[in-house]
A and B are shown apart, each in its own frame.
Chain A
Amino acid sequence: MAGTVIGEGLTIEGEVVTEEEVVVNGTVRGTLSSADAVSVGAGGVVEADIQASALSVAGQVTGNVNAQDRIDIQAGGRLVGDVKAARLTIADGASFKGNVDMEV
């Protein structure tokens, strides 16, 4: 069970800082920072810079992403922004626009 859930219909405008897993099915505008994984559900909208250990995108993300471990853009997911991560997967049917930095 995720520590923090932004449910459908809920909007957070501002800064979110946490040490636990975050599931976004609603909307976050501002910045989102987690020491654990962040997943954006199919109905989730994030217009924020994201800092996380891992990011999974099935919804919409607009902003720069910095992940310690990995970023997964799933089918139907949409990510606009620069990403920095050790590993990156973009599923068939996902859309992505931005630069990738994999620290080669």
Chain B
Amino acid sequence: MNGSIIGKTTQIRGNVRGTGPVEVEGRVEGDVSTDSSVVLAEGAVVRGNVSGTTLRIAGTVAGDLTASEALLLEPGARVVGDLVAPRIGVAEGALVKGAVRTEGMAAAPRAMSRPSAARRVEPTAKEAPPRAERATPPAKPAERAAASPASSPSAAKRRSRPSQQTAAKPPPTPPAKRFARKPPPPVVPALAKGTRGRKKKAKRK
């Protein structure tokens, strides 16, 4: 076994540095640095800087955390200090006081930023419909009830659209969006396609 473990009752006053994975369950008053992973278990306390490739923190740190690959704060983690890593994860229940910077390797943060950006967009899309509900006339809810058991979202769209055209169009996001569970595609083309198709059908008939 090559790894190092600072046990639960162990207190170190001084620096811990070197190679190989390090797991801290006890207390270190000094820096912890390695060229491998560092795990701070629940109950672990480090008063000093911690650096490694990947850090998983569930304990307490008063000092800066620097990871060359990833930094994960688990529930129960308490950190007073700066966080620097290409990838940083903070779980719910983790306390952080300090600056957070995702930097380092170029490829990793870009790949991570895309899904996080998508996540940021989603809540606003969810927030939008209630506003639209308020704006639309009171006849809507009954119609929504009729449309919701529909097998496919496209069917729901078709049913809801005529009323949409007759109703006032103040909300920028159409109410039909409510029935689409998937992230909504660009609104305008979808509208144009549907209306054209309906017009053609009407012409044929």
Total inter-chain residue pairs, C-beta < 8 Å? 86
Known contacts A9-B18, A15-B12: does B30 contact A3 (CB below 8 Å)?
A: no
A20 at the interface (CB under 8 A from B): yes
Name the interface residues of A1-46: CB closer than 8 Å to any CB of B. 2-22, 26-27, 30
Say which size band chain B's interface belongs to.
20 to 34
A11 touches B18 (CB 8 A): yes
Residues from chain A with a CB closer than 8 A to the CB of B11 are 15-18
- A interface secondary structure, majority: strand
B34 touches A10 (CB 8 A): yes
A18 touches B7 (CB 8 A): yes
Residues from chain B with a CB closer than 8 A to the CB of A15 are 11-14
Residues from chain A with a CB closer than 8 A to the CB of B5 are 2-5, 7
Closest approach, in angstroms, between the C-beta of B26 and any C-beta of chain A? 7
Name B13's closest neighbour in chain A (CB-CB): A15
Known contacts A3-B5, A14-B30: does B10 contact A9 (CB below 8 Å)?
A: no
B9 touches A10 (CB 8 A): no
A30 touches B19 (CB 8 A): no
Known contacts A5-B1, A7-B2, A9-B2: does B8 contact A20 (CB below 8 Å)?
A: yes
Interface residues in chain B, defined as those with a beta carbon under 8 Å from any beta carbon in chain A: 1-22, 26, 30, 34
Interface residues in chain A, defined as those with a beta carbon under 8 Å from any beta carbon in chain B: 2-22, 26-27, 30
